[in-house]
Chains A and B, each alone.
Chain A
């Protein structure tokens, strides 16, 4: 629990302390390998697999219940 708290505080401090990134510095962020999510179909499929097999109900950013008889 202490470790998770440490990670949370460190993360917040890091994010808070970051200087603003200028537009001309973001070229690398627009690259394909920097996309946070692959594509909607892949995310939708993975969400369904996790929803039906785990108690935690799917991928982040999706409803954790309903819509399918494959899970609770």
Chain B
């Protein structure tokens, strides 16, 4: 864009914002209806969810069996600790079974263990403090462990509403310090290594109109350390070698959504996102979600469609390559592909058969991927407010 166009654009926006600001005035807090940018935390609650994920290997990496099943139970407890403090505790676990064995019999029978698996256990404790009527600060600490991976992390979040409650700004910084036990594709174990990840996230939610909200998120992540997946290998030029990727990565993502109440009982939310990183990958995502209040207060149906397209990282090596470069990967998730995801969820916000303070939800997602690594997931959720 030319500089002159940019200046004109900024002047127009500034003028319009100034005109809008002239109409704003401070309002007593009891009159304010806050836009629902986040889940309601006005009551104590406990929420359970059970997720089932299944991935079918219909393609992907021709040298690796990529079938996978994950069971993930989750628990989240929210407790008001005082007039200004609110705390949450999240516990979740993954029970993973995956084939992860060679698909083309490169290894003699009996030298690989066959189907493999892993277990993940993570806990995150957070606290939020209402600094003022407009500002909330908070943060949390997390710990997780897997068979060959441990992680310690933390985050800080600052949320600020403008006086008019028409804009909410969020700044979030987070860090993860991870340790990997290196177990390579051929069973060798050369020791341990570390991975550090630091993120900055900026969010802006804006009330566009009495029936319309918009939100924009920008996330910047920088990573250093061992960024490959230890057990991944690369098969090319008549040999099989360990995956090796650069030890730094800078990742950018920008995502915008607008939610509009189209009819009295029907909301629509289109969204658009772009991503790029210095490994040479770019991605484009667009989605549209719908929420239909079928029975007011009793049944909400949410459905959605998501399209995702990504390019492969620069170091992706086809198995037809004549030589093995210094950096190389054949990870299907770092390859070029497109995907289509369809989702459907039934939400009972106040089911009469249990009681008004309970909530039940049931959801299903199905993803079609152009490399035939299709997947589906089922979710069953329950919340008790007290």
Contact = CB atoms under 8 A, between A and B. Distances in A.
A36 B24 CA distance: 24
A64 to B, nearest CB: 4
Contacts of A65: 176, 195, 197, 199, 221, 223, 249, 251
A18 B21 CA distance: 10
B70 to A, nearest CB: 9
Interface in A8-67: 9, 11-42, 44-45, 48-49, 52-57, 60-67
A24 B30 CA distance: 11
A23 B49 contact: no
Interface size class of A (residues with CB under 8 A): 35 or more
Contacts of A24: 31, 33
Interface string B354-386: 000000000100010000010101010101000
Contacts, number: 254
A33 B300 contact: yes
Interface size class of B (residues with CB under 8 A): 35 or more
Given A34-B259, A64-B199, A67-B151, A23 B33 contact: yes
A7 B142 CA distance: 38
B58 to A, nearest CB: 15
B285 interface: yes
B142 to A, nearest CB: 7
A41 to B, nearest CB: 4
A72 to B, nearest CB: 6
Contacts of B352: none
B277 interface: yes
A20 B223 contact: no
Contact of A19 (B20, B251, B261): B20
A11 B383 contact: no
Contact of B12 (A16, A38, A48, A72): A16
Task: Kindly list the 3 A-B residue pairs having the minimum CB-CB distance in the complex, ordered from nearest.
Answer: A66-B197, A66-B176, A69-B149
Interface of A: 4-5, 7, 9, 11-42, 44-45, 48-49, 52-57, 60-72
Interface of B: 1, 9, 12-14, 16-17, 19-21, 23-24, 27, 31-39, 47, 49, 51, 53, 72, 74, 76, 88, 90, 92, 94, 118, 120, 122, 142, 144, 146, 148-149, 151, 153, 155, 164-166, 170, 172, 174-176, 178, 180, 195-197, 199, 201, 203, 205-211, 213-215, 217, 219, 221, 223, 227-229, 245, 249, 251, 253, 255-257, 259, 261, 265-267, 269, 272-275, 277, 281, 283, 285, 291-293, 300, 302, 308, 310, 313, 331, 333-334, 339, 345, 349, 363, 367, 373, 375, 377, 379, 381, 383
